[in-house]
A and B are shown apart, each in its own frame.
Chain A
Amino acid sequence: MISTVDTSLELIAILTHRFERLRGIIQLRNQRVKEMEQQAVCLFEKGQLREIELLMEQKDGILSTNKQLSLFIEKWEKKSNRKEEQLYTSI
């Protein structure tokens, strides 16, 4: 029983670590969006509207993936937290 609990706790720790990494990735992608804003200003200075449009599409892609990733973390983190609570209760 104890070894099963240990394994489950290890798995939960790995999952928590992965969620953290995913959050890090989201943060990096948000930073990229910020950089894109500056890039858009540079393109505006050069009068490259088409490139701004492409950048906008790219930004939308990043933002929608970020949203999906956040929802994913939220959904599975809740489940893993519940599992963790159950495990501690059983110990």
Chain B
Amino acid sequence: MIAQIFTPISLLKKVFRLGERSLARQEVSHRLQNICSGETEEIIEAALSCQKSPFREGNSKAIIEFHQETQGLSSHAFRVLNEWGIPVTEEQLLRKLRGLNLVSWGFPFERLGLQTDHRFLQLSDNRWLLKDWELVNDEVYNYLVQHETTELLLMDIPFLIQMKLGLTKKKYLFLPEYDERFQQDETRLYILSSHAQLEAEDLQKTKAENTSFMEVAAAMSQEILVDKSKTTVVDEVIHDLLGSLIKLEKRSTEMKDEVVGHFSSNNLEAIRDLMTEKEKNEKVLLKLKEIVDELT
């Protein structure tokens, strides 16, 4: 299913971990297999052949390199997506940035550089989202099946996910439109595969389940509101940590340019210093990531 949801470039971005610039093709293929079924080689080829792809073959075909570039404006796009917490179209994002007086009317979307930025992913329908959002379709489905619920209000889904997974509102990704187990209309979500099993059951009972579920969801929303005020500081800390991660990542990119400069001027000593700095950065990056993962 994942292979149909994301573009090939985004799938490759998903398998490159923070700080990784190049990987063996075999490793990429192996990691792709872990996240999606299907022909991994086809995905790799598709990502490599895309126009303006940040992925290239290295010195040999066996190496896939990720040429990351972070544009200044992408940080604003990151903030907007983080704030909204939902996948957005290019036009929606540009409209928001125009509204903030950050870009002009004729500003082309490509110049935001989201394609080459590891923090952004793109869905097959061209909407953009953040890499750290987790897809929770399975969790939602399992929960609803367990509770023998065949339909629920779309507006209740955020409460369900927070209640079940304990994820903050802006960190999950529920995409029923890509999942054949779900069907949705304007206000409700229907669970299809369990429908047949539950058909024979008393409709009244199902309704009661739905009602009770909605009650639980409503109660949870109250709890969440209370919790939210408690966890604001933690959220801020996580946000700061993410900011630090981005800073370290940016420094890594700068270092690459510096290496080229020192290499041209034969300054091996400076490259040695940079290498020491890089090692330190990577250690900090790893530790920070562990903390962020743990906290989120």
Chain A interfacial positions (CB closer than 8 Å to B):
36-37, 39-42, 44-45, 47, 49, 52-53, 55-56, 59-60
Q: Which residue of A lies closest to B272 (CB)?
A: A49
User: A47 — which chain B residues lie within 8 A by C-beta?
Assistant: 275, 278-279
**How far in angstroms is the closest Cβ of chain A from B277?**
11
A44 to B256, Cβ gap below 8 A? yes
**How far in angstroms is the closest Cβ of chain A from B24?**
12
A44 to B259, Cβ gap below 8 A? yes
A37 to B266, Cβ gap below 8 A? no
Q: Which 10 A-B pairs have the closest CB atoms?
A: A40-B263, A44-B259, A37-B260, A41-B256, A45-B21, A41-B259, A37-B263, A56-B266, A53-B268, A52-B271
Q: In the bound complex, what is the Cα–Cα distance between A91 and B240 (angstroms)?
A: 82
Selected A-B contacts with CB under 8 Å, 8 pairs: A36-B263, A37-B260, A39-B59, A40-B263, A42-B59, A49-B268, A52-B263, A60-B266
Q: Is B216 an interface residue (CB 8 A)?
A: no
Chain B interfacial positions (CB closer than 8 Å to A):
21-22, 58-59, 65, 255-256, 259-260, 263-264, 266, 268, 271-272, 274-275, 278-279
User: B58 — which chain A residues lie within 8 A by C-beta?
Assistant: 42
User: A49 — which chain B residues lie within 8 A by C-beta?
Assistant: 268, 271-272, 275
A40 to B260, Cβ gap below 8 A? yes
Q: Which of A36, A44, A56 has the largest count of B CB atoms less than 10 A from its CB? A: A44
Q: In the bound complex, what is the Cα–Cα distance between A41 and B275 (angstroms)?
A: 11
**How far in angstroms is the closest Cβ of chain A from B259?**
5
Q: In the bound complex, what is the Cα–Cα distance between A56 and B260 (angstroms)?
A: 11
User: A55 — which chain B residues lie within 8 A by C-beta?
Assistant: 263
User: B255 — which chain A residues lie within 8 A by C-beta?
Assistant: 44
**How far in angstroms is the closest Cβ of chain A from B203?**
61
**How far in angstroms is the closest Cβ of chain A from B110?**
24
B259 to A56, Cβ gap below 8 A? no
Question: Provided the pairs A42-B22, A44-B259 are in contact, do residues A37 and B264 lie with their beta carbons within 8 angstroms?
Answer: yes
User: A37 — which chain B residues lie within 8 A by C-beta?
Assistant: 260, 263-264
Q: In the bound complex, what is the Cα–Cα distance between A24 and B212 (angstroms)?
A: 80
Across the interface, B274 reaches (CB within 8 A) one of A44, A53, A59, A60, namely A44
Q: In the bound complex, what is the Cα–Cα distance between A40 and B268 (angstroms)?
A: 11
**How far in angstroms is the closest Cβ of chain A from B261?**
9
A56 to B268, Cβ gap below 8 A? yes
Given A44-B256, A49-B275, A53-B268, 16 other A-B residues pairs in contact with their CB atoms under 8 A:
A37-B260, A37-B263, A37-B264, A40-B271, A41-B259, A41-B260, A42-B59, A44-B274, A44-B278, A45-B22, A45-B256, A47-B279, A55-B263, A56-B263, A59-B263, A60-B266
Q: In the bound complex, what is the Cα–Cα distance between A52 and B259 (angstroms)?
A: 10
Q: In the bound complex, what is the Cα–Cα distance between A87 and B259 (angstroms)?
A: 52
Q: In the bound complex, what is the Cα–Cα distance between A41 and B185 (angstroms)?
A: 52
Q: Which residue of B lies closest to A36 (CB)?
A: B263
Q: Which residue of B lies closest to A55 (CB)?
A: B263
**How far in angstroms is the closest Cβ of chain A from B264?**
7
Q: In the bound complex, what is the Cα–Cα distance between A51 and B80 (angstroms)?
A: 43
User: A40 — which chain B residues lie within 8 A by C-beta?
Assistant: 259-260, 263, 271
Q: Which residue of A lies closest to B256 (CB)?
A: A41
